[in-house]
């Protein structure tokens, strides 16, 4: 492999994400030397919230989730992401 390019310093995670969408990582490192690794203690980045819902609405959501064979909290997240135009819209389907 030729000399690897230096990975630039990024001002933010958004800037880094934008960079990697338009640049091939193979120019920066030798993937033939890559090794598999595991991160068993990695915690997902999420924030817990409390949300009060009318009982009847929550029951309807649970019924909809049951029909789809998914947890009702997951279904709520998918619906919220779809409504907000978030990243789950394209990556998750229920």
> How far, in Å, CA of 84 to CA of 78, rounded?
10
Give the per-residue pLDDT at 18.
93
pLDDT along the chain (94 residues), means of 10: 80 93 90 89 85 97 97 94 72 48
Domain coordinates in residue numbering, the chain: 13-36+47-91
Say whether 7 sits in a helix, a strand or coil.
coil
Q: Which residue has the tokens 């992401």?
A: 81
Query: What integer pLDDT is reported at residue 85 of this predicted model?
Result: 84
Q: Is 86 exposed, middle or buried (0-12, 13-18, 19+ CB in 10 A)?
A: middle
Residue 92's pLDDT is 47
pLDDT of 40 reads 87
d(CA 47, CA 75): 17
Give residue 2's pLDDT: 61
Find the distance separating the first CA and the last CA of the chain, reported in whole Å: 44
């Amino acid at each position: 492999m030729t000399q690897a390019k230096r990975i630039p310093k990024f001002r933010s995670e958004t800037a880094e994400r934008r960079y990697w969408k338009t640049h091939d990582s193979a120019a920066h490192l030798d993937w033939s030397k890559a090794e598999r690794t595991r991160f068993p203690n990695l915690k997902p980045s999420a924030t817990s919230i409390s949300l009060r819902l009318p009982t009847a609405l929550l029951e309807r959501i649970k019924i909809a989730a049951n029909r789809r064979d998914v947890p009702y909290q997951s279904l709520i997240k998918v619906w919220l992401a779809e409504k907000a135009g978030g990243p789950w819209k394209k990556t998750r389907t229920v």
